[in-house]
Amino acid sequence: MSNTILVGIDGSEGALRALDFAASQARLSNQGLTICYVIEWSPFTFNTPSENEERHRRREEELTRAHSDLIEPQLIRLAQSGVSAEGLVRHGHAATVLKDLGVEVGASSIVIGRKGTSRLASVMFGSVAGSLVQIADRPVTVVP
């Protein structure tokens, strides 16, 4: 069994409940956590070279801001509660990124909140949790 549980977070109350659940599971099973925030990003846009350069600059700024505003505070909170964790920020479709990251880090399971920050997107395109449950190759826990 792997020594990490992967948790997808997005700053929502549901994500914080999922993180708290995963932290309690990590303590019980003597595992660490890998927490990940996914910035939705599509490579399928048609831009001019200058637009692509600007887009890349914005992407790097988003990565930095997400790490400092979302990941770092949770890593501090987890460390204070005695849970070993690492944090990552990635771009892409959240369900696909979490599935692939689960493989990359050898996670024993993936934990995600049922409701995230984008209700409209989940109504129009399907929820991240629902998609992840369908495509993941390891256990997924969806926390209400």
Chain centroid, CA 106 distance in Å: 15
- Banded model confidence at residue 121, pLDDT cuts 50, 70, 90: very low
The fold of the 4-143 domain, in CATH, is: Rossmann fold (3.40.50)
Q: Residue 110 pairs with which residues in a beta bridge? A: 6, 140
Phi, psi angles (nearest 5°) of residue 126 = 95, 150
pLDDT at 42: 66
Question: Under a CB-based contact definition with an 8 Å cutoff, are residues 93 and 43 in contact?
Answer: no
Residue ranges of domains in the chain:
4-143
pLDDT tens column, 92-115: 899 999 999 999 999 999 999 987
pLDDT tens column, 15-30: 999 999 999 999 999 9
- The CA distance from 143 to 50, in Å, is 42
pLDDT tens column, 30-66: 999 999 999 887 665 666 777 767 777 888 888 899 9
Q: Residue 141 pairs with which residues in a beta bridge? A: 111
With tokens 């369900």, the residue in question is: 95
pLDDT at 123: 42
**What's the one-letter identity of residue 21?**
F
Angle between helices 13-29 and 72-80 (to 10 degrees): 40
**What's the one-letter identity of residue 81?**
S
The first and second tokens of residue 79, run together, are 């460390």
More confident residue, 88 or 92: 88
